[in-house]
Amino acid sequence: MKLTKVLLVFVLLLTLSIFPMTTELRGGPGVNLMENRNPSLNPTVQFSLKSTSFQKDKIALLVGINDYQGEQNDLRYCVNDVLDLKQALIQKYGFSEGDIILLTDGNATYANIISSLDWLKENSNQGSTVVFYFSGHGSRSSSDRDGDGEKIDECIVASDFGFLWDGVLAAKFKEINASRIWLGFDSCYSGGMVDADQDLGLKGVGKLNTMACKANQLSGESSSVENGFFTYL
């Protein structure tokens, strides 16, 4: 019993030495508020996307947000997360830089994320490999915000505080006709994004949904690694 306690203390001290207590949580504004609303169903697109006449073999949308409107909700290392991931996709997995959309800070609005998801759909086919990764604030509601029948909904938060609810995202992912899809979420309450698996049939060989925490948990980032914990690991 004493040995077990010693080992637990050792693991705790080791963890603190690697990840000192400079952690910020990625839980967004309006958590559990009835006032959470979907933005306009017809948002104005602010991000210019290049349309192509052919479909791509490997394509990605990476969204990282440090700078939210105002100052009190700002994060520090979400942009690092997606920049690191972009380099990994190019250097290790054969993605072309021109086939990766990178939305950060002011460009990562609700409208631009929706438009970019449509771009993924239009530029991929059954043989494509598609990556979507989000690093930023997550939030949750106290009621069914997207009409999917769930009592509580989770979302990712755009830089303009647009809430992209799990059901809305799941419907967008369903439109992507690719045999290989990786969805990644480094945000609080990201376990709620399991809708993409359960409701819309993304389970199967080559289809993967990874989340930093459970639907009722928080994710964090640290200055010791200058990333979110989930992305770093």
Distances (CA, A) of 107 to 64, 65, 102, 158: 10, 9, 9, 9
Q: Which is the catalytic residue, given 78, 137, 155, 213?
A: 137
Give me the residues paired with residue 103 across strands.
63
Distances (CA, A) of 62 to 22, 136, 145: 25, 11, 25
Q: How far apart are CA 18 and CA 26, in angstroms?
A: 20
* Tokens encoding 81: 């997360």
pLDDT at 68 over 60: yes
Give me the residues paired with residue 178 across strands.
none
Verify whether residue 155 is a known catalytic residue.
no
- What is the structure's pLDDT at 1? 56
Distances (CA, A) of 198 to 112, 141, 143: 26, 20, 19
* Interval 71-118: pLDDT, tens: 788 999 999 999 999 999 999 999 999 999 999 999 999 999 999 999
Tokens 């996709």 -> residue: 89
Q: Which is the catalytic residue, given 78, 155, 188, 213?
A: 188
* Tokens encoding 63: 């969204």
* Interval 179-230: pLDDT, tens: 899 999 999 999 988 765 554 445 556 888 899 999 989 999 988 889 999 9
Q: Delineate the domains of the chain, giving CATH numbers in brackets.
A: 26-39+52-232 (3.40.50.1460)
Closest CA to 206 of 170, 173, 181: 181
| DSSP H or E stretch at residue 61 | strand 58-64
Q: Please give the average per-residue pLDDT across 50-55, as a whole number.
A: 54
